[in-house]
């Protein structure tokens, strides 16, 4: 079965410093992977997706992620954190079981310190 594991439930960084949110996946074939962000009391917004094209994927708001098959990882990074980045981040793998199903990681709460 396909799954994702987010290695940190909470990450705290200072404004202007780099952000690293870690995600490992488990899949028997080349997966479709996504990062979504959820601000408080809001719906989910897609940051970026990987679908077996380039291994380095650029997303919105300066975020990017690198697919590493050898490490079964899909970590999310940003060079310089902004206060508005404070939110919950979900690593997601997509599977087809009659229809598309999203399998979510448990989420990482990102806190930005001024």
Partner 1 sequence: DTEVTQTPKHLVMGMTNKKSLKCEQHMGHRAMYWYKQKAKKPPELMFVYSYEKLSINESVPSRFSPECPNSSLLNLHLHALQPEDSALYLCASSQGGRDRNIQYFGAGTRLSVL
Give the binding site for partner 1 (CB under 8 A). 32, 34, 36, 41-46, 49, 51, 90, 94-102, 104-107
Burial of 77 from C-beta contacts in 10 A (0-12 / 13-18 / 19+) = middle
Handedness of CA 65, 66, 71, 72 (dihedral sign): positive
Judged by CB, which is closer to partner 1: 26, or 51?
51
Structure tokens at 104: 């979510």
Residues 109 and 11: their CA atoms lie apart, in Å, by 6
Please report how close the Cβ of residue 52 comes to partner 1 at its closest, in angstroms. Answer: 8
Judged by CB, which is closer to partner 1: 40, or 114?
40
Please report how close the Cβ of residue 57 comes to partner 1 at its closest, in angstroms. Answer: 12
Judged by CB, which is closer to partner 1: 13, or 93?
93
Please report how close the Cβ of residue 80 comes to partner 1 at its closest, in angstroms. Answer: 26
Please report how close the Cβ of residue 90 comes to partner 1 at its closest, in angstroms. Answer: 6
Judged by CB, which is closer to partner 1: 52, or 80?
52
């Amino acid at each position: 079965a396909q799954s994702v594991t987010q290695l940190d439930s909470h990450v705290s960084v200072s404004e202007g410093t780099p952000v690293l949110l870690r995600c490992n996946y488990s899949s028997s074939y080349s997966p479709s992977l996504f990062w979504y962000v959820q601000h408080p009391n809001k719906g989910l917004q897609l940051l970026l997706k990987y679908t077996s094209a380039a291994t380095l994927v650029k997303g919105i708001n300066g975020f990017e992620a690198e697919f590493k098959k050898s490490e079964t990882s899909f970590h999310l990074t940003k060079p310089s954190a902004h206060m508005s980045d404070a939110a919950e981040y979900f690593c997601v793998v997509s599977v087809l079981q009659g229809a598309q199903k999203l399998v979510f990681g448990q989420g990482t709460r990102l806190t930005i310190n001024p």
